[in-house]
């Protein structure tokens, strides 16, 4: 009798665990099918899209709960530099780009924990209101722990290793086309400990 | 069925049920958490103006410092609501999210330069007599969210003043 009860309990537990794990795996796998890569920038079509079924809805909720609809804003995130290395606060980067075919844009730096880096530099983001392009019609911003002589600066102080940058493009125009050429490029200039 | 077969089949049946229950529950549980957070300060059917996003902000991951947010956790069990968004000099939008996380309505300043006024109801006939746009919510509860572009302290403070005139309250039919 006891053996039978234990067998049923084991069946219930095994079934529940298997169901939960398979659902989690389905969301992880399904999530990657929404990714689009433009150079080093990653865009998830799930963020701000309309749900077409229970799996899509769950993926959207996980990746962009209460996000703006894709008509209102597009989100792109970069986790690596131009040579595929993880972003690190011990390095200095240059971010360059053109103006976008959109009403407004911003780029925000997030620490490895996905929150704003814990510093008092008031340099967590740059945006279209404050950035001007040069004679080559490109703007340049520095990503580093100190501003130095940079005109536009994103502070990576206390962002640690594996920080990221998110580009938000608001009210993109019809001719806005995301591509490796239209999105900004992030170039590593130097790192602490580099041998010159 | 004899031996271990029945236990294996039972485990498989429970796994299938648990799989679909999990998928179904994810957006609803997450929205429930959002509803609880939004309603924690002013309760349901009232706007809450969020603190400016700073490095100390830890409520949601990857917060956007670009916006001043006003959120209203709504509950239509007592009848329709009037929701208004006062216009703002720069980009603003009003988004509505159902309890299953669907973003079923959005309007921005390009479509509503003079601000937005809607009557939010469970069914259209509940909002008879409304002069405003009637929007039907797929669920009784949900979240209304106003975003106003306010990337610096001055514009955030100005948005805080404007947000005071937003309305999220019981609908009163015209007599």
Task: Write the pLDDT tens digit of every residue in B132-173.
Answer: 999 999 999 999 999 999 999 999 999 999 999 999 999 988
pLDDT of residue A78: 96
Residues of B in contact with A24 (CB under 8 A): 22
Of A8, A116, A170, Cβ closest to residue B65: A116
pLDDT of residue A196: 58
Question: What is d(CA B19, CA B47) in angstroms, rounded to the nearest whole number?
Answer: 36
Residues of A in contact with B24 (CB under 8 A): 54, 58
Question: What is d(CA A47, CA A104) in angstroms, rounded to the nearest whole number?
Answer: 18
Tell me: pLDDT of A52 over 70.
no
Of A7, A51, A55, Cβ closest to residue B102: A51
Strand partners, B92: B148
Instruction: Judge contact between A107 and A167, C-beta under 8 A.
Output: yes
Question: What is d(CA B116, CA B109) in angstroms, rounded to the nearest whole number?
Answer: 9
Task: Write the pLDDT tens digit of every residue in A60-70.
Answer: 888 778 888 88
Tell me: pLDDT of A167 over 70.
yes
pLDDT of residue B59: 75
Residues of B in contact with A57 (CB under 8 A): 27, 100-102
Determine, for residues A19 and B14 on separate chains, whether the beta-carbon distance falls below 8 Å: yes
Q: Which residue of A has its CA nearest to B4?
A: A7
Question: What is d(CA B23, CA B1) in angstroms, rounded to the nearest whole number?
Answer: 31
Q: Which CATH class is domain B47-170?
A: mainly beta
Specify the CATH number of the domain A37-43+71-191.
Answer: 2.60.120.600
Count of residues making up chain B: 175
Count of residues making up chain A: 196
Task: Write the pLDDT tens digit of every residue in B48-102.
Answer: 999 999 999 887 778 899 999 999 999 999 999 999 999 999 999 999 999 999 9
Run of H or E including B67: strand B67-75
Q: Does A4 touch chain B (CB under 8 A)?
A: no
More confident residue, A50 or A2: A2
More confident residue, A53 or B50: B50
Contacts of A178 (CB under 8 A, 6+ apart): A36, A38, A41, A43, A74, A76
Residues of A in contact with B65 (CB under 8 A): 108, 116, 124-125
Examine the predicted complex and report whether its ipTM is higher than 0.95.
no
User: What are the angstrom distances between the C-alpha of A65 and each of A23, B129, B170?
Assistant: 18, 34, 26
Instruction: Judge contact between B167 and B84, C-beta under 8 A.
Output: yes
More confident residue, A195 or A5: A5
Chain position carrying tokens 């229950």: B21
Task: Write the pLDDT tens digit of every residue in A21-39.
Answer: 999 999 888 888 889 999 9
* pLDDT cut 70: percent of chain A above it: 98
Strand partners, A186: A95
Number of neighbouring beta carbons within 10 Å of residue A126: 23
Of A20, A69, A124, Cβ closest to residue B106: A69
Determine, for residues B97 and A115 on separate chains, whether the beta-carbon distance falls below 8 Å: no
Q: Is A82 helix (H, G, I), strand (E, B) or coil?
A: coil
Contacts of A183 (CB under 8 A, 6+ apart): A38, A39, A41, A76, A97, A167
Of B22, B60, B66, Cβ closest to residue A20: B22
Q: Does A104 touch chain B (CB under 8 A)?
A: yes
Contacts of A113 (CB under 8 A, 6+ apart): none
Domain ranges (residues) in chain A: 37-43+71-191
Determine, for residues A171 and B110 on separate chains, whether the beta-carbon distance falls below 8 Å: yes
Question: What is d(CA B81, CA B127) in angstroms, rounded to the nearest whole number?
Answer: 9
Determine, for residues A129 and B54 on separate chains, whether the beta-carbon distance falls below 8 Å: no
Tell me: pLDDT of B38 over 60.
yes
Beta-carbon contacts below 8 Å between A and B: 156
pLDDT of residue A194: 79
Domain ranges (residues) in chain B: 47-170
The DSSP letter of residue B49 is E
Q: Which residue of A has its CA nearest to B16?
A: A19
Question: What are the tokens at B31?
Answer: 């929205």
Task: Write the pLDDT tens digit of every residue in A79-112.
Answer: 999 889 999 999 999 999 999 999 999 999 999 9
Determine, for residues A66 and B34 on separate chains, whether the beta-carbon distance falls below 8 Å: yes
Of A15, A51, A119, Cβ closest to residue B10: A15
Instruction: Judge contact between A136 and A111, C-beta under 8 A.
Output: no
């Amino acid at each position: 009798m006891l053996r039978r009860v234990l067998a049923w309990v084991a069946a219930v537990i095994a079934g529940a665990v298997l169901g939960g794990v398979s659902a989690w795996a389905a969301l992880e796998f399904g999530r990657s099918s929404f990714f689009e890569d433009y150079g080093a920038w990653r865009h998830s079509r799930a963020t701000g899209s309309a749900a077409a079924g229970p799996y899509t809805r769950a993926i959207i909720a996980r990746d962009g709960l209460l996000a703006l609809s894709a008509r209102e804003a597009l989100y792109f995130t970069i986790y690596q530099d131009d040579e595929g290395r993880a972003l690190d606060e011990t390095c200095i980067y240059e971010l360059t780009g053109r103006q976008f075919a959109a009403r407004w844009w911003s780029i925000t730096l997030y620490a490895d924990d996905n929150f704003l880096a814990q510093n008092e530099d008031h340099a967590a983001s740059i945006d279209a209101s404050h950035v001007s392009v040069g004679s080559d019609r490109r703007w340049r911003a520095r990503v580093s722990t100190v501003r130095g002589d940079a005109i536009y600066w994103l502070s990576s102080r206390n962002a640690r290793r594996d920080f990221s940058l998110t580009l938000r493009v608001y009210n993109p125009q019809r001719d806005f086309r995301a591509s490796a050429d239209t999105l900004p490029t992030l170039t590593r200039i130097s790192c602490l400990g580099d041998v010159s | 069925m004899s031996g271990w077969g029945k236990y294996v089949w039972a485990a498989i049946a429970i796994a299938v049920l648990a799989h679909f229950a999990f998928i179904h529950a994810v957006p609803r549980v997450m929205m429930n958490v959002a509803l609880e957070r939004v309603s924690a300060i002013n309760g349901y059917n009232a706007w809450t103006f969020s603190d400016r996003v700073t490095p100390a902000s830890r409520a949601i991951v990857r917060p956007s410092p670009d916006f001043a947010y006003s959120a209203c956790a709504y509950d239509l069990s007592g009848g329709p609501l009037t929701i208004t968004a006062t216009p703002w000099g720069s980009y603003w939008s009003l988004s509505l999210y159902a309890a299953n996380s669907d973003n079923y309505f959005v309007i921005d300043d390009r479509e509503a330069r003079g601000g937005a006024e809607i009557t939010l109801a469970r069914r259209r006939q509940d909002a008879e007599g409304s002069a405003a746009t009637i929007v039907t919510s797929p669920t009784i509860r949900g979240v209304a969210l106003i975003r106003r572009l306010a990337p610096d302290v001055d514009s955030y403070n100005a948005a805080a003043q404007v947000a005071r005139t937003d309305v999220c309250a019981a609908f009163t039919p015209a007599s």
